[in-house]
Structure 1
Amino acid sequence: MPARGEWVWSLALPAAFILLWSTGFIGAKLGLPWIEPLTFLSIRMIIAGGLLGLVAVLTRAPWPADGRAIVHTAAAGLLVHAAYLGGVFWAIDRGQAAGVTAIIVALQPLLTATLAGPLLAERVSARQWLGLVLGFAGVSLVILGRLEGGAISIQTLTATLIALVGITLGTLYQKRFCPVTDLRSGGAIQYAASAIVLGSLAVVLEEQRIIWTGELVFALAWLVLVLSVGAIGLLFLLIRHGAASRVASFFYLAPPITVVTAWLLFDEILPPLALVGLAVVVIGVALVQRPSPVQSNRG
């Protein structure tokens, strides 16, 4: 029987992260019809940063000790929040199908595993490489089973690639340069930096069009509390306590769960191919997460 702490890190927290993270596209679908993407994200960052800043002050959380630590914290946040979310939301708002976007971004675990060796000195075994490839294949099956045309242009492809690079480098950067940063004060700094960048882009590129509806308010509240505070906090906890390549493999489970959630909430099509893909994804992630004999002996 695994120890209680081991069970939490190996099952409970990853499961919570996957369930929360997979609702991101649902929040975008509800909110984007009523607001421009960068304006939407700017407001989200301001609220999330203010909320975490207040929590950090009230709970007397430690803040980064010097300017270098603040810069590293802000840089990780810009990659994970501004680059990733900005690219994804902008591409979807410009007409690119969420399925196309999800397939491209699903390359993140493979790209993370490729870079984790030279950047973090992490070793990825042959079995884990097989799991990563199976995970991507499974995600592709899930998404390909329900693609709806989805125009793709040089602009939307570029934005999606920026998102892919942002989330990949952001997780690696967080692991390398912010291993002990407090999640409350660090999150406040990261969201503040992202709000400045995204807000500046929104002023230049958008008209700040907002139609306040119940759907927009709900989507904003959900994305702030569930995604920006809950899911991101769990992600950084998992990064702190696990290998970057193994943590990244959890992202494979988000698109299939998003498809199932969309089927339940919006009556979207759930073809048999998607169910096959979901099974393949689960197998792939299991191969990545299963500890090697060396790791097991060390434990």
Structure 2
Amino acid sequence: MLLLALMWGLSIPVTKLGLLTLPPLTLTALRFAIAVPLLLFLTLGKQRLPMRALPRIAALGALGIGVGQVAQAFGVAGTSASVGTIISATIPVFVVVFAALRLKQPVPGRQKLGLLAAFAGIALVALGNGDGASAVSATTMVGAGLMVVSALAIAFYYVWSVELTHEYGTATVAAWSTLFGFIALLPWTGWEMWHVPVHLTVEAVGAAVYLGLAVSVAGLFLWLNILRTVPAGIAASVQYLQPVFGIAASSAMFGDEMGVLFAVGVILVLGGLALTMTSRSKADEAP
């Protein structure tokens, strides 16, 4: 669990590192060019995907990568690594809310309070990390907004994928949805590479390899193994550790400064996460 929290917690700072020399779409495409073959290899011997499932899987991939991961890459480019890390930590909050809405369940007051706290925290971390920051660490409202769009899209991707993974298996859905999302991304990446200078440095390639191998492939299967061997309530604690590692890495790599507003925002986001996760745990225990 500590290893997973570290791997996923470093994803935003590493993305920021890759974006120093690569444009967002190119970095995202390179990341999934590494992840897709490995994910497909892991489906060997697994349940085959029927043709009737392809439209839903393709739409899932377009949402998860074409919207979620692309918005995240552009959002990280417009925020400091620490702000991006905190906003991405709200994904579990939105997962809980979307899951409740999808199942036509009422959203408890505690979850509503958690959602409000998370949004208030997002506003504060964005406002508390803008003035006086370096070009690398500067945060814009557009960048913060794109990170919120990314969190919403990825959360909905997780919720939507539940029914598909029950039918066809997690590895199969993850591999094929990622493939379709990657294919949909390629024309836009080609356009970007034609119009924007691309500098393929060692740091950029290393960032893409880390994101593709450690975050998208190893992290996914490590998480699934944790869910099989550790009670869900304990496994969920990974969500609290990710931003801790991410903020520490952001400070070490880019010198991100943590002001009072930023600190209060972090507390609100993590508090909102705690409220929604606690509500979910109690709901899971209900008959």
TM over 0.5: yes
Separation (CA, whole Å) in 2 of partners of 1:283 and 1:161: 17
Counterpart in the other structure of 1:134: 117
**Contact kept in structure 1, 2:18 and 2:204, CA below 8 Å:** yes
Counterpart in the other structure of 1:37: 24
Q: Where do 1:145-224 residues align within 5 Å?
A: 145-147=128-130, 148=133, 150-152=139-141, 163-207=150-194, 209-224=197-212
Alignment equivalent of 1:89, drawn from 68, 73, 87 = 73
**Contact kept in structure 1, 2:125 and 2:265, CA below 8 Å:** yes
Compare 274-283 and 26-35 and name the one that shifted more.
Answer: 274-283
Separation (CA, whole Å) in 2 of partners of 1:176 and 1:122: 17
Letter in 2 for 1:226: A
Matched, 1:75 2:62: no
Deviation at 1:117, TM superposition (A): 3.8
Separation (CA, whole Å) in 2 of partners of 1:227 and 1:191: 13
Distance 1:296 1:114, change over 3 A: closer
Letter in 1 for 2:213: L
Letter in 2 for 1:262: S
* Unpaired runs of at least 5, structure 1: 1-11, 241-246
Deviation at 1:191, TM superposition (A): 2.0
Deviation at 1:295, TM superposition (A): 4.6
Deviation at 1:195, TM superposition (A): 1.6
Distance 1:233 1:71, change over 3 A: farther
Compare 215-224 and 169-178 and name the one that shifted more.
Answer: 169-178
Deviation at 1:214, TM superposition (A): 2.1
Deviation at 1:150, TM superposition (A): 3.5
Deviation at 1:263, TM superposition (A): 1.5
**Contact kept in structure 1, 2:65 and 2:181, CA below 8 Å:** yes
* Unpaired runs of at least 5, structure 2: 229-234
Alignment equivalent of 1:62, drawn from 33, 42, 47 = 47
Matched, 1:22 2:6: no
Letter in 1 for 2:69: L
Distance 1:27 1:275, change over 3 A: same
Distance 1:271 1:294, change over 3 A: closer
Separation (CA, whole Å) in 2 of partners of 1:187 and 1:293: 28
Secondary structure at the aligned position of 1:56 is classed as: coil
**Contact kept in structure 2, 1:131 and 1:283, CA below 8 Å:** yes
Separation (CA, whole Å) in 1 of partners of 2:141 and 2:112: 29
Separation (CA, whole Å) in 2 of partners of 1:157 and 1:131: 19
**Contact kept in structure 2, 1:108 and 1:248, CA below 8 Å:** no
Compare 156-165 and 38-47 and name the one that shifted more.
Answer: 156-165
Counterpart in the other structure of 1:48: 35
Deviation at 1:160, TM superposition (A): 5.3
Separation (CA, whole Å) in 2 of partners of 1:214 and 1:159: 27
Alignment equivalent of 1:116, drawn from 89, 94, 99 = 99
Counterpart in the other structure of 1:290: 278
Separation (CA, whole Å) in 1 of partners of 2:86 and 2:253: 22
Counterpart in the other structure of 2:258: 270
Distance 1:52 1:297, change over 3 A: closer
Separation (CA, whole Å) in 2 of partners of 1:267 and 1:158: 23
Q: Deviations over 1:87-118 (max 9, x none)?
A: 2213444x455577667767756655554344
**Contact kept in structure 2, 1:91 and 1:159, CA below 8 Å:** yes
Q: Where do 1:232-271 residues align within 5 Å?
A: 232-233=220-221, 254-255=242-243, 257-271=245-259
Matched, 1:125 2:108: yes
**Contact kept in structure 2, 1:63 and 1:182, CA below 8 Å:** no
Deviation at 1:18, TM superposition (A): 4.6
**Contact kept in structure 2, 1:106 and 1:139, CA below 8 Å:** no
